[in-house]
Structures are given as C-alpha cells and as structure tokens.
Chains A and B, each alone.
Chain A
Amino acid sequence: MAEPIVQIRNLSKIYQQGEINVTALDNISLDIAGAEFLTLMGPSGSGKSTLLHIIAGIDRPTSGECRVQNVDVTKLNESQLADWRNQNVGFIFQTFNLIPVLTAAENVELPLLLTQLSKKQRHNQVATALELVGLSDRSKHLPRQLSGGQEQRVAIARALVTDPALIVADEPTGNLDSHSAHEVLGVLQSLRRDAGKTIIMVTHDPKAAAFGTRQIHLEKGELS
C-alpha cells in the first residue's frame, strides 16, 4: 500500500461530565489510503462523528495523533487549523447546511473567498464543481428552491470546490429519500473513481456503505 493519506495513532477522546468520564473514542489506530472510499458504521453513540470531526480538524482528541498527508492536525493552532481545513478538507453534513440567503453558486463559492483566486477563476471552479454534481442549471437557485437531494449535491460541490484531497461526510444521505440518496452516493463514488478523492463517510445504511471501497465498524469507541 502506498503512503496512507490519514494515519491515526492511539487516538482517544474522553468527555468529562462532572464525575463521569464518557469515552467517545478509545485508543484508535487506523490508516486510510489515498483514493479510498471508507465507510464508517456502528451504533448510535459509538463515536463515529467524533472520529470524523477529529480527522477533519474541527475537534481535538484527548490524546493520540492524527496525521493527514503527514500533517499532525492535533498539533495545529486554531488559525492554522482553519487554513488547513480550507485547503485540505471538504465537509458534507447530514443537514445540508447551506446559507439560505445565498444562491447555489454563491454557497459553493464561499470557501473560495478565503483564497487568492480571481473572480474569474472562482467562477470557473464553481461552474466545474456544480457540473460535477450535475447542477449547472440550478446555480442561480436559492436553497429553498431546491430539493433535498439537490441541496446535498450543492453541499458536495461546496466541499470539493477547493479541490481538497479529503472529503468527509457525516450521514450525508440520512435526510434523503432512496432515489436522492442514490444520486448523492453516485456523485461521491465518481469523485473517488474519477478525481481520486479520499472519502470518509459515516452512515447507518448498509446499502449506502456498499458504495464504499472499505467498511469499518465502531463499537463503544473501539474499532471492531
């Protein structure tokens, strides 16, 4: 196997709730290769989201390390981490989390506002991203004028517009009917296959998990 894109070593996350400690992640080690479509399954409360958040640099572990493309994200400070996220990760959430006052294209453009790209370059990238998710004709629509599946595909376009190596998705089809879910999963699949993206997706749905190239299970904070 080539150099893994994500290397997790002895990662633990413990929440302190007064007297009680809740162990969300218990000493996890895991390698994820480039261009892998990893699906993460497990019962509710098993720590799937927590793991995903740490890999994506929006949460910090209690101990252990998490290297993404040889950068230990647990060591970055707040502002370095923000930059890192902007350049290296794309997020997709269960609720689509688009900004309601912005059109599809403007939502997709948001992460690019932090880059040095010219207006024209931004527009090109937005157009490419929307085309990849099959929504070129909806670019001027506001989120409320889109179906749930279309909203989620806009969110995918936003996640990939900065061309990050890694895309993380937390139950991206959780709010969708099976037809829309199928569309979204198809898009993710093609991103891995055609663009070589590494995708980590949390899901409860075995059918969704089947779209991935590898499945792992979490149980009470441990890999099983």
Chain B
Amino acid sequence: MSRSQVTKYLRPSTPEEALTLLRNGGKSARYVGGGADVARTLPGDVTTLIDLCTLNLSSIEESAESIVIGATATLNEVLENRSVANVCNGVVAEMMRKVGSPLLRNMATIGGTLVSAHSWSDVIPLLLVLDAEITLYDGDSRTMGLGDLYASRERFANSILTSVMIPVSGPGDYAAFHKFSRTAYDIALLNCACYVHVEEGRCTEARIAAGGTPRLATRLPQVEAALPGEALSDETIERVAQVARDTVKTADDRRASGEYRKQLIYAGVKSCLHEIAQRLEGGQ
C-alpha cells in the first residue's frame, strides 16, 4: 500500500500543540496513536499525520476510585498492568488476550482503539460494562461516560482522547467477557460482556453489553433488568440468556447471519454468567 501522499509527520509535545496542528491541517490531517489502523487504511486525501505518542500520555496510575490509563498506553501495557489486573477478577487482561495477537497489542493504543470504535471491538463492550469514563481534550478537558460518548452524535470531532478511567472494583464485583470468532486470531462474529454486583448471594446490579451484532457495542437494558434481586442460579441464567436472544437486535453481514447471532448472544450471556456463578461458588 502506498502512503506516498503523506508530506508531513508531526510530533507535537503537548495536547494544545496537537490540537492546533490538527485544526491547521483541516481535513487533510489525522491523529496517529499506535498507527495500526491509520497505516492500513489511510484515506488518499490525508497528507499530514500528527503523532500523539509524543505527548507523554502513556502512564497507568491507580487512585482511590479508579485506574487512569493514558490514551497512548498500548493494549499490552494495559494487559500486563498490575492495577488493571485487580479489576473484577482480571477480566480486562482476559479480554485483551483475545484482541488480535501480541504483535498488534504491542503497538495499538487504548486511545486509538476507543476512537476507531470498530463495531466488532472486543475492548468496547467490556469497558462499557465496567462503567469506564474517558477524558477528551478540545481546548478544555471534559470527562464523560464511554457509553454517553458513543451515543452522542459528534463523538470525537477534533478532540484528543487523553485518558480512560476504569473504576476500581471491590468485594462482590464480578465481570466476564466472551468472544465468538472463527479462529482465535480473527475478529469477533459477536462478543459480549457482563458485570454483576452480588450481595448476600443476590445480584443487586447488572450491566451487560454486546458488540458485533453487527453494530457497535451497546448496553442491553432489557437484559440487565432481568437480574437484580436474583441469585445466579442455572434457571436465572437460562432466563436472562433467553431475554438476550429475544430482545437484542441482530442483523446479517458477510461474517454471520442475524439469526446465528441471536444464538451467539444467548450462548455468550449464558457463558459469562456461568463463569461468574462459578467464581461465586468458588468464593473467588
């Protein structure tokens, strides 16, 4: 693939500078995170690349309430981080292992992953159920829920995603992720993530999301509503999985039919909730 139209590769040192460069470049300018998507699918009219990895935004820090991940941390840095490993029984690393291969994860950044917002992204459904927030910089910094961001029309405009916050978890917090794909390395035919908070054996709160339906991942409020007040028995799990199959909107694309995806969401929710139930039994 030729990228010979690119005439400038700029390496700003502050978000202010990056934003100015992008505004000056207009339509012909593009931010680069890890560059995995940009290098592969660069539109012919993009002539200026602005690298965000020189902004020093790759640290991962834990505060009392959340783990703050800089936008240019690579997916493997997130996977290997000890604070991240403490979130809901290590579910983030478990999911990350299913994203491409280590070769990709050593370059691809968490920021680029959330901004490119692929409908089959494995990262997005899990971060939605973990209630992740993001900080955007467009001259001012603002923080919002990841779900609110995708629901809003403007999405990113020219903003720089500077960090992602994942709440720290405590006793009773559990999460699981399931990806269906033809091979371990392929992208998802469908994926889903479940979070539950359990007190005295009963679920008090639930968040469930599915991606690759084939649309971008969203939360599934009707499915979530079936859990609070319930213990995670086989019967409850079966019923919740059926609600997922009957209510989640799926469609055909070249990877799978909508009908097949309905079976996948049923099996995915079931497998996530069974995994959590097993952890509860094992007292982990």
Q: Do A and B bind each other?
A: no
